[in-house]
Amino acid sequence: MSDKYDLIVVGGGPGGMEAAQTAAQKKKRVLIIEKNGWGGTCAHRGCIPTKALLSCSKSYMELKKLKRFGVHVDGTSVDFMAMKKHRDQMVKIAAMGAQKGLADAQVEAKSGTGEILSPCEVQLIEPSGQSQLLETKNILIAWGSEPQFLPDIQTSERIMTSDGILDLTTLPSGMIIVGGSFIGVEYATVFAELGVKVILVELLDRILPQEDEEAAEFLTQELARLGIAVHTSTELISLKESEAGVVMQVRKNSETMEMRSGCALLCTGRNPLLHRTELDRLGIEYSRAGIKVDKNMMTTVRGIYAAGDVTGGMMLAHRAARQAKASVEHMYGGTGNLYNENFIPSVVYSHPQIARVGYTEERARKEGLSVETIRSPYSANIIARTELMGQGFVKAVFHQDKIIGAVILGDLAADLISGLALAVASQLTRKQLRSWVIPHPTLSEIFVPLFG
């Protein structure tokens, strides 16, 4: 066959795979190129490994509930290497699933580096060093992201990023986590539940600043109950290795403090992975925040699109996939999958979880919208009580009687948010939502009071 394609995708993460499979379903000839691992950051260093570890730590913590159910478990302990084995198996399964999905869609997949030479040319450099010039009608950039590094701080075996932490082979006695974003909060949850003494440091005045304020404050209290020392409004001055671990200097309320622990984890965010030489040569506009794209995910160069973490914003696998689908629909004349950031749900996989879609009450008021917020507590739900889910709540934000946002704090929030995400995307009114029949008894009945 000729080495001419309808679409070449550079990057095999969630966005790249979605674009490739969607285009292949439209009977287009597609090539996807990946140099590090099929499934991208999500499968290898993000979503999958962290959620595998969170499932382990949660299972260990929930043993403490069993006595209330009349089940007695004695002699429990943590085998961290066994947990890592479970994590690695899930990563392997995710990567294999990514490859199978591409194969089933009849997408050509090649390992190597894809260098974009022009809007219709990509040079494939295989792991062997052999190169091949490929022609295409469209290109999608899905380079992903990389950990954000702090100036003057050197990473090491004791000072790690969210990538490096996955190489840990033993549980440390203590850990300082720098950054109260969802990555920092999730890792704080894992290690605290496994018995590690965790210190969480955040520069801003609260953790999870993009989330609902009440939910973030509630979660701060829950983290404290786990034994996590949460320090907000705290500025990092220096972080260095010591003989026994790490020592960190911080400034809080105009006072300098010293913190010591066994190791440190930097969770100060991720940056779009930008190959600036290629972007500059091609004339594609970008900034530190990411590649500039329009509503159809096209860059400033016609025929070249970008999707996922490389565009900045919320770095979420399902967001990348949605952007990619929108880009392919635009390439081939469709109009039904235009991307809307307000319809992308986000989840913090802490214990309890926080899930959100659309507007928070705080954001709506800042934008001058008149809103009504209705709240329903977990304590009023019989399944939440029966299964000892603890405290939690769901809130819905209405503007002109239409639901424009929702937040859930509590067990299974990640699964529950999907229904509300559909409602927000469909811009349903309360009258329409009242026709939603929810089975009894279920946790999802927590939604009923929201609609009146």
* Residue 299 DSSP symbol: -
CA distances from residue 16 to 32, 90, 210, 318, 320 in whole angstroms, order as listed: 7, 20, 26, 12, 8
Task: For CATH 3.30.390.30, list the domain ranges present in the chain.
Answer: 352-451
Q: What type of residue is 371?
A: V
Residue 378's pLDDT is what?
98
User: Under DSSP, is residue 166 helix (H, G, I), strand (E, B) or coil?
Assistant: helix
CA distances from residue 268 to 70, 182, 260 in whole angstroms, order as listed: 43, 10, 19
Q: Which residue numbers are catalytic?
A: 440
Task: Please confirm whether the linkage preceding 151 is cis (ω < 30° from 0).
Answer: no
Half-sphere exposure for 340 (CA within 13 Å, toward CB): 16
d(CA 27, CA 98): 20
**Using 50, 70 and 90 to split pLDDT, how confident is the model at 344?**
very high
pLDDT at 390 over 70: yes
CA distances from residue 447 to 311, 353, 365, 413 in whole angstroms, order as listed: 34, 17, 23, 12
pLDDT at 333 over 90: no
Nearest to 15, CA basis, from 273, 333, 332: 273
By percentage, how much of the chain surpasses pLDDT 90?
A: 91
- Taking residues 93-117, report their average pLDDT: 96
- Taking residues 129-153, report their average pLDDT: 94
pLDDT digits 0-9 by tens, 226-277: 999 999 999 999 999 998 899 999 999 989 999 999 999 999 989 999 999 9
d(CA 85, CA 98): 20
Is 3.50.50.60 the CATH number for 4-146+271-341? Answer: yes
**Using 50, 70 and 90 to split pLDDT, how confident is the model at 337?**
low
pLDDT at 309 over 60: yes
Residue pair 337/324 in contact by the 8 Å Cβ criterion: no
Residue 1's pLDDT is what?
43
Residues 297, 302, 303, 305, Cα dihedral to 10°: -20
Residue 334's pLDDT is what?
75
Residue listed under structure tokens 């704090």? 409
Nearest to 298, CA basis, from 263, 329, 256: 329
**Using 50, 70 and 90 to split pLDDT, how confident is the model at 67?**
confident
**Using 50, 70 and 90 to split pLDDT, how confident is the model at 84?**
very high
- Taking residues 177-198, report their average pLDDT: 97
Q: What is the DSSP string of 30-68?
A: EEEEESS-TTHHHHHTSHHHHHHHHHHHHHHHHGGGGGG
Pick the CATH number of 159-268 from 3.90.1150.10, 3.30.413.10, 3.50.50.60, 3.40.50.300: 3.50.50.60
β-partners of residue 259 are 248
Please give the class, per CATH, of domain 352-451.
alpha beta
d(CA 424, CA 414): 16
pLDDT at 74 over 90: no
Output the average pLDDT for the chain.
95
| Tokens standing for residue 31 | 């090539």
Residue pair 6/29 in contact by the 8 Å Cβ criterion: yes
Task: For CATH 3.50.50.60, list the domain ranges present in the chain.
Answer: 4-146+271-341, 159-268
